[in-house]
Amino acid sequence: MHSTMPDTPLTIARILEYGSTVQGSSTVATWTGDGFDRRTYAEVGERAARLAHALRTSLGLSVGTRPEDRQGVVATFMWNNARHLELFLAVPAMGAVLHTLNVRMPVEQLAYTVRHAGDEVIVVDSGLLGEFAALLPRLPAAVRHIVVAGPGDRTPLSGFAGEVHDYEQLIAGMPSDYPWEEDLDERTAATMCYTSGTTGNPKGVVYSHRSIHLHCLQVAAPNRYDLTNRETVFPIAPMYHVNAWTVPHAAFATGADLLLADRHTGPGPLSRVIEAGRPTFASAVPTVWTMLSQEWDARPRDISSLRRGLVGGSACPPALMAAYRDRYSVELLHAWGMTETSSLATTALPPRGVDAERERAYRATQGQFPLSVRFRIVDEQGVVVPNDDVATGELQVRGPCVTAAYRGADGVPERPAEGFTPDGWLRTGDVGRVSPDGYLTLTDRAKDVIKSGGEFISGVALETALAEHPAVVEAAVVAVPDDRWGERPLAAVSLRAGSGVALADLRDFLSRHVASWMVPERWAVVASVPKTSVGKYDKRDIQDRYAQGRLDVVHLGRRPGDRAGDRAGLIGM
Amino acid sequence: MHSTMPDTPLTIARILEYGSTVQGSSTVATWTGDGFDRRTYAEVGERAARLAHALRTSLGLSVGTRPEDRQGVVATFMWNNARHLELFLAVPAMGAVLHTLNVRMPVEQLAYTVRHAGDEVIVVDSGLLGEFAALLPRLPAAVRHIVVAGPGDRTPLSGFAGEVHDYEQLIAGMPSDYPWEEDLDERTAATMCYTSGTTGNPKGVVYSHRSIHLHCLQVAAPNRYDLTNRETVFPIAPMYHVNAWTVPHAAFATGADLLLADRHTGPGPLSRVIEAGRPTFASAVPTVWTMLSQEWDARPRDISSLRRGLVGGSACPPALMAAYRDRYSVELLHAWGMTETSSLATTALPPRGVDAERERAYRATQGQFPLSVRFRIVDEQGVVVPNDDVATGELQVRGPCVTAAYRGADGVPERPAEGFTPDGWLRTGDVGRVSPDGYLTLTDRAKDVIKSGGEFISGVALETALAEHPAVVEAAVVAVPDDRWGERPLAAVSLRAGSGVALADLRDFLSRHVASWMVPERWAVVASVPKTSVGKYDKRDIQDRYAQGRLDVVHLGRRPGDRAGDRAGLIGM
């Protein structure tokens, strides 16, 4: 039966129009180092219109309104700032595609993604021209224009064969309204992000207008970012990765004010942004929350405006959540997601009416999936297991915000067999279980599980336990080859300055929390755990350093007094 | 460019699946008169599956997955209860269409809608068989099955030529899982509701899976129902009208517990439901909130669980909002919507940082539109006016949850010229203005404006002013013919028992709040203001009673001491 409801599409143009009119008096504030550069969403709307005119008429960018149309691709090599926000909105809203380049990705991978994505224009923050210069000789000829955002020396670009423009000059004098695509097919490409895997080439996820618009509705919900026009949001997570977890779009879609830190990504400057900008909500990886907490230990700040922080990207140690709750009255909300799930999927808001202990346990899970993500846990035999909080397997997901393919070499989506099941579910590579009331607990990455003597050891479980020790700042546990057991865990830890703790103390601490056969024999103290370009632990790097003998490893035997005959012994360890 | 995101549809089946699995331990509790009949969402899911099997195999209902497919229509004649919830979910999720019959609609109009909608099965609460009997002789032959929900005497149905079934017997023994339509086209019809206009035949709005799914995401937002699995929601607004404002779907989509009052719709029983069920949120028309407040004056209740109430359907007097805030610590959130906008559109959550007086002013507006509704204010010349909080005109809206047509006689959508602009905007018939920060203030229904001597008087403005008087329970102001001025306002008021106020006191009170030429000369005291079948003031009925001399009208002259030469005089009054 025909409904009487129309086919009005779910687009970025609608988000731009809504934010710049109904919420036009809300503001985006970019940190300059000693204050904010503030503009209203209405002004962002006008500048986005100017930008679209400039891209269309001055740079000749192609636009399309259907999945089969050719669309020009604009790449960005930028921090979190208001110009980046203008690009976030204008480029998809005009019918082109935005490709955010990860400024911390190795240059070979970056060059690969520029070529693979078909970038034609690259917008670069002037403060990043030095870093960008390394990419310059590897740019394909398809890149015809570089637009420099902000003042400064342009000489790093002198070798570029195409045209160089100044962002402000480019948009100056352009009309301040633009006929945004109203009747665009919502399945058309809007933005692109490449995964930052440590093996193989990066894989391109191409988000549609529909997927971003729906994700935007999802993340604004009360058990996620909880956004209205009464809030101020501070996306610390970078705009160059997975649409900054859709925070900029959600702010525009709700009228929440935005704070952006620009190039000031250290804990000191971030703290000043919080103190001066008074956000009610911020989003970051655990490492950043840890750094901020250390910063505030050293130099107390007024962070009283913060009500909730979203922790995604890696598992958040429960001790960190407890510290934020007890010391700063900030609710750190645990979350899980991937580039492939448009960022945020689950969040761990506990059900009501549970006691403090169960509340902590719920908060330590990855949390509940939203309506838009279907999931299942599949064991090694390919059987879907029940949600009984016991049966463990690979997490598989699907839904309107979950990618069903990667961008192929010719731009046509491809579905590699190792990434998807034959019936179209995304294989996340994460291993875990789900409780009867729908809370996900991830126990490991499939590839990070340590297979020791025929039994599995969860590196993540050891990391979580170690992070509870007051002297531990960061702890990464990786699998290393072992003659007797096949693999054994190695723990690389960074320690609080002046803590005076010995590795044997940590070994003993760990023995009280996990089965003794799981406790690593190999330990290394590191200044900080190496990270990938998006701030996750780079376990591959630790393994490589170990293999090449570039890690100072201390070998610790079993804790004195531990008896044989524990579980490991029973299964033949 | 092709995105890599899939076409996963937005369906009711997904809402049903999500609620009955991830949120399967949440509960729906139906009031029995002295307690709750409770079942989990997992049980609702199983019973919905049984119901779908029964409708398909026992009653031979057709299902479809594309707009062009034939789909069977199941009507309901029911209160708010768990069986109605099962029908809400199962019927669309299986690919059929649900048509909720308004149990308070006049029987001629009901018969019209049954025929027009193509109903084949009608499910009737056993307690409503008496009311339903009046409709029985007017049912078209297409209605082949009547399903009675609940125990009781079936003799009122003895004249029915088709088959009569018992709901529980029908679903007993059916399988408790069902292959819900996963790949249904989201634009396919899901539910139908007929408007309850006081003139002409009711008009049918046919909601799609997409429109309900999107509306569900919209209403759960923090500035609307604010729903998570920590809340308990009590939709007092009936399930037989506009999908109960999407509350049941939103509860399933978030895991909020549901309370349903069944046939117990009086203020006493509703208060008992609140006391026993401890909802955190409830939704109702202003009349119900007024009745509840009066009830609690007479008989104090523990309503401390209530945090927010949504007021929709008619304008909410600011005095009522203030009373709920001051006396019960309940935030009554003002809202506006129509059958045609899938119910809720705007809500009036004030921006932060405004003083108490401005906060009250913001709360008295109809509020801000959400991302999913585009709007414009159009003056009598057809020109779109600016959002300056001054320029007034007709409100026009469009969007994925706003109907673009009505169901035609042959089932094909029709777009009557009086209801829509040539470029496809819905003409709401409401008159108002929008502020620069996006807050809508409705001043009148276009058809309710009183045209007095060439000048317009807002009946709603007079009603709002009168409602501030402590002796006034309800006040309706309607246009009546006047020999000299064309039209003049007539005020029909119901008064608090024992208040001892005279109509002249009300006249004087009103004179202090509005221009004296606007003050009505004609006044009537009524036991209660007549209401339409959805609880709105039935102004047509008041006008008819006046025309037929069935209203005791008191004529009051101008307040003593008021001088001539006010605004009305200047324009020739």
Nearest to A349 among B206, B211, B228 (CB): B228
Question: How many whole angstroms separate alpha carbon B38 and alpha carbon B237?
Answer: 20
pLDDT tens-digit map of B389-428: 999 999 999 999 999 999 998 899 999 998 999 999 999 9
Q: Name the pairing type of β-strands A308-311 and A331-338.
A: parallel
pLDDT band at B313 (very low <50, low <70, confident <90, very high): confident
pLDDT tens-digit map of A343-382: 999 999 999 999 999 999 999 999 999 999 999 999 989 9
All CATH 3.40.50.12780 domain ranges in chain B, comma separated: 1-17+37-211
Q: Which residues of A touch B97 (CB under 8 A)?
A: 1
All CATH 3.40.50.12780 domain ranges in chain A, comma separated: 24-434
| A369 lies within 8 A of chain B by CB | yes
Q: Does the pLDDT value for residue A337 go beyond 50?
A: yes
Question: What fold does the segment set B1-17+37-211 form as a domain?
Answer: Rossmann fold (3.40.50)
Q: Which residues of B touch A6 (CB under 8 A)?
A: 398-400, 402-404, 424
The residue of chain B with its CA nearest to that of A209 is B3
**Chain A (335-354) residues lying within 8 Å, Cβ to Cβ, of chain B:** 349, 351-352
Q: Does the pLDDT value for residue B558 go beyond 70?
A: no
Buried b or exposed e, range B10-42, using 16+ CB within 10 angstroms = bbbbbbbbbbbbbbbbbbbbbbeeeebeebbbb
pLDDT band at A449 (very low <50, low <70, confident <90, very high): confident
The residue of chain A with its CA nearest to that of B217 is A217
A28 contacts A38 by C-beta, under 8 angstroms: yes
pLDDT tens-digit map of B27-63: 999 999 999 999 999 999 999 999 999 999 999 999 9
pLDDT score recorded for residue A559: 56
Average pLDDT over every residue of B455-472: 86
Q: Which residues of A touch B69 (CB under 8 A)?
A: 1
pLDDT tens-digit map of B514-555: 888 889 999 999 999 998 877 788 888 999 999 999 999 999
Please answer yes or no on whether B5 and A211 come within 8 Å at the CB atom: yes
CA nearest neighbour of B342 among A253, A3, A211: A3
Q: Does the pLDDT value for residue B13 go beyond 60?
A: yes
Q: Quote the distance between the C-alpha of residue B20 and its chain's center.
A: 26
Average pLDDT score over chain B: 92
All CATH 3.30.300.30 domain ranges in chain B, comma separated: 449-570
Q: Which residues of A touch B229 (CB under 8 A)?
A: 223, 349, 351-352, 368
The residue of chain B with its CA nearest to that of A64 is B1
Average pLDDT score over chain A: 92
Average pLDDT over every residue of A93-116: 95
pLDDT score recorded for residue A560: 53
A539 contacts A490 by C-beta, under 8 angstroms: no
Q: Does the pLDDT value for residue A59 go beyond 80?
A: yes
Please answer yes or no on whether B1 and A25 come within 8 Å at the CB atom: no
pLDDT tens-digit map of B204-246: 999 999 999 999 999 999 999 999 999 999 999 999 999 999 9
pLDDT score recorded for residue A464: 85
Please answer yes or no on whether A3 and B223 come within 8 Å at the CB atom: no
In the chain, the amino acid numbered A183 is D
User: Does domain B449-570 match CATH 1.10.10.10?
Assistant: no
Say which residues have a Cβ less than 8 Å from residue A226's Cβ, sequence separation at least 6. A220, A281, A308, B222
Q: Which residues of B touch A208 (CB under 8 A)?
A: 3, 5
pLDDT score recorded for residue A412: 92
pTM of the model: 0.88
Task: Determine the length of chain B.
Answer: 573
Nearest to B8 among A8, A400, A438 (CB): A400
Q: Residue A497 burial by CB count (10 A; 0-12/13-18/19+): exposed, middle or buried? A: exposed
The residue of chain A with its CA nearest to that of B5 is A403
Report the share of chain A in percent with pLDDT over 70: 96
Q: Structure tokens of A129?
A: 């021209």
A372 contacts B186 by C-beta, under 8 angstroms: no
Q: Does the pLDDT value for residue B562 go beyond 80?
A: no
**Greater pLDDT, A507 or A563:** A507
Nearest to A207 among B3, B24, B413 (CB): B3
Q: Does the pLDDT value for residue B347 go beyond 50?
A: yes
Report the share of chain B in percent with pLDDT over 90: 80
| A401 lies within 8 A of chain B by CB | yes
| B431 lies within 8 A of chain A by CB | no
pLDDT tens-digit map of B85-118: 999 999 999 999 999 999 988 899 999 999 999 9
B430 contacts B445 by C-beta, under 8 angstroms: yes
Q: Which residues of B touch A411 (CB under 8 A)?
A: 1-2
Q: Does the pLDDT value for residue A508 go beyond 80?
A: yes
Question: What fold does the segment set A24-434 form as a domain?
Answer: Rossmann fold (3.40.50)
3-state secondary structure A226-288: CCCCCCEEEECCCCCCHHHHCHHHHHHHHCCEEEECECCCCHHHHHHHHHHHCCCEEEECHHH
Q: Does the pLDDT value for residue A573 go beyond 50?
A: no
B245 contacts B237 by C-beta, under 8 angstroms: yes
| B220 lies within 8 A of chain A by CB | yes
pLDDT score recorded for residue A313: 81
Average pLDDT over every residue of A56-85: 98
